[in-house]
Structure 1
């Protein structure tokens, strides 16, 4: 046998050994990957961009204007540290500028245009109204919302001084919007004036 023949035979043998080794390595990797893929619970598998959030208590209400027609919505979500509230008001619904918004004790908007059936603020404190009040604030106190030039508003706020259990108690509650802004100090409603919109929260 010539040296050339020996060299060719050796090269062929090495190629066969390498191919066999590569196949064994690929098979081993597939065996190791399969159990991990099969063991993942279905409820933990989410697509790209999807998120999972814990169950949270929610409440909603339709905002009625001074004439009793719907002008917007209020949506509340309770998380572990407080409540996020979102209010959306349609164009042409309210006067441009700042308006006080409060959570009231009773879920009743039946006295259209007056909206006094909703009672006082949740967690009423004698002399304690206002986010800037050292004797307060009341649980129903919130920052002011601003109505744009077209009479619409998109408002989101957060409160950690009220609980959903207070909002959804036996007689319910209401979101009330006032004609003017709340100065967060004057009693009993921060000088906010009459009630111009109401939503029963359910």
Structure 2
């Protein structure tokens, strides 16, 4: 007959043995199994993204050609490069935006290019908590001789949307964009235009 003491000793021994053999189990993580950047092939492996390109001839307020804008799409955004000839614009900062319609036919006004690409009421400006709009870009600096060289990167849009059915235009304004004031950051008149194609 098993005594109470023997039974208690047996129970303690079995409990201790079970605790020694127990190992904590890891719960499965609900994280996506997508590869990270380090797992993706790139230029080192001879793999390059398909990069769409476009360009625009910029014309000034008198209809004369003043420079070019070139666009290059990459996997994470778009590079925009602008070159302006000497005597193109007044020196200093100028607002720069992408506009919704690909036309510059109303020379000197450039209003037919419509509002900003991807316009959202009250959302203009790179510093706007409600924005920015897809057409918002950093300002361009024009040198003392009226020329400019500019390169910017944007994740706000891509060429396939700029080259839609009615196209798009790139517009340079008379003053700088404060990146906050509605609707165009106080950038003033449109002084240069280029149809993106």
State the Cα deviation string for residues 10-66 of structure 1 (Å, max 9, x = none): xxxxxxxxxxxxxxxxxxxxxxxxxxxxxxxxxxxxxxxxx9844310010100000
Distance 1:166 1:194 in 2: 25
Distance 1:52 1:62 in 2: 32
Where do 1:126-137 residues align within 5 Å? 126-137=121-132
| Structure possessing the higher radius of gyration over alpha carbons | 1
**Is 1:77 the equivalent of 2:40?**
no
Distance 1:150 1:53 in 2: 39
Distance 2:128 2:83 in 1: 28
Which blocks of at least 5 consecutive residues in structure 1 are unaligned? 1-50
Distance 1:138 1:56 in 2: 23
Distance 1:77 1:198 in 2: 19
**Any conservation in 2 of the 1:178–1:197 contact (CA below 8 Å)?**
yes
Output the TM-score relative to the length of structure 1.
0.74
Query: Is the helix fraction higher in 1 or 2?
Result: 1
Instruction: Give the C-alpha shift of residue 117 in structure 1.
Output: 0.4
Matched position secondary structure for 2:67: strand
Aligned pairs, number: 152
- Kindly report structure 1 stretches of 4+ aligned residues shifted beyond 6 Å: none
Distance 1:72 1:87 in 2: 7
State the Cα deviation string for residues 78-128 of structure 1 (Å, max 9, x = none): 000000000000001100000000000000100000000000001101000
Distance 1:108 1:168 in 2: 12
Matched position secondary structure for 2:112: helix
**Any conservation in 1 of the 2:49–2:75 contact (CA below 8 Å)?**
no
**Is 1:172 the equivalent of 2:167?**
yes
The residue aligned with 1:25 is none
Matched position secondary structure for 1:165: helix
The residue aligned with 1:191 is 186
The residue aligned with 1:58 is 53
Where do 1:3-152 residues align within 5 Å? 53-152=48-147
